[in-house]
Amino acid sequence: MALSLRNAGTVTQTASGASTTITPGACTFVAGDLFILTLGSYVTGDTWTTPTGFTLFATRTNHHSIYGRIAVGGDTPPLCTSSGTSVHTAGLLALQGTVWPTIGTMAEATNNAFQSSASAAAYPSLTIAGQPGFASNNDYILIYGQRNKTDDTDGATWATVAGATKLQEIYGNGFVDAWTLQGIQQTTRTDISAGTIAATGGTPESVATTGLVIALRTALASAGILSQLIQHSR
């Protein structure tokens, strides 16, 4: 009834004008794990095509997007395609534990936020407790914060959201797409309040930022899965 990080691959990055495709670094996994794929673009006009075998969980105008896939043996990192050639980033990680068995209904609720100019990445509130469907107390929350950084904050890192665990992130140097993905395993069904994720170090510049919040259902252990799916389908 819980998820945790098994392994996170290296976040890859392309230079501006270099390519419309990018492949994230590989991560260690076993069949049945949940892959989380994070794709980012520095320019809002660049949009992503959903990679083969993945399901879109949440997006902000399709230039910052998070996808999921239940892992099978032999899986390799996907080739990801954008409509443009701005600075792109791609990260792949594997979550282990009681993965919800149906990828299409795994994301129970999502929300997104955008700021045209701010020093910290804002993420939105998310209502979970009132959502219809199976009333699990064990949602796994993904919180994503992104900023179009400049060289003013070279060498900085991301702060950690209270109660969260850092799963994967990139900051980089120069004018690049910087983001952090953090996770919270709930034990009581609780709405998420809006917040911000600051860059720690350097002089935080005012830039465009994006935030995403996703509530993922987790499965009951063993025999409980069947009754859970029946209840959810009613």
Q: Which two tokens stand for residue 176?
A: 């690049």
| C-beta neighbour count of 26 within 10 angstroms | 14
Q: If you search the block for the tokens 């600051």, which residue do you land on? A: 198
Q: Where are the domains of the chain?
A: 3-233
Instruction: Give the DSSP H/E element, type plus range, for residue 114.
Output: strand 107-118
Q: Contact 46/82 with Cβ under 8 angstroms? A: yes
Q: Contact 35/26 with Cβ under 8 angstroms? A: no
pTM of model > 0.75: yes
pLDDT, mean of residues 10-36: 95
Q: What is the pLDDT of residues 53-102, one digit of tens each?
A: 999 999 988 789 999 999 999 999 999 999 999 899 999 999 999 999 99
Q: Contact 37/67 with Cβ under 8 angstroms? A: yes
Return the amino acid letter for 75: D
| C-beta neighbour count of 103 within 10 angstroms | 18
Q: Which two tokens stand for residue 70?
A: 């239940």
Q: Contact 141/182 with Cβ under 8 angstroms? A: no
Looking at mean pLDDT, say which of 57-66, 180-189, 196-205 comes out highest.
180-189
Q: Which two tokens stand for residue 101?
A: 């068995």
pLDDT value at 222 more than 90: no
Q: What is the pLDDT of residues 140-183, one digit of tens each?
A: 999 999 998 888 888 889 999 999 999 999 998 888 889 999 99
pLDDT, mean of residues 189-217: 91
Q: Contact 54/104 with Cβ under 8 angstroms? A: no
Residue 121 has a pLDDT of: 94
Which residue stretches of 118-198 are H helix? Answer: none
Residue 3 vs residue 17, higher pLDDT: 3
Q: Contact 149/157 with Cβ under 8 angstroms? A: no
| C-beta neighbour count of 51 within 10 angstroms | 21
Q: Which residues contact 132 (CB under 8 A, 6 or more apart)?
A: none
pLDDT value at 225 more than 60: no
Q: Average the pLDDT over each of 85-89, 117-121, 212-216, 217-221 and give the range with the smallest value.
A: 217-221
Residue 177 has a pLDDT of: 87
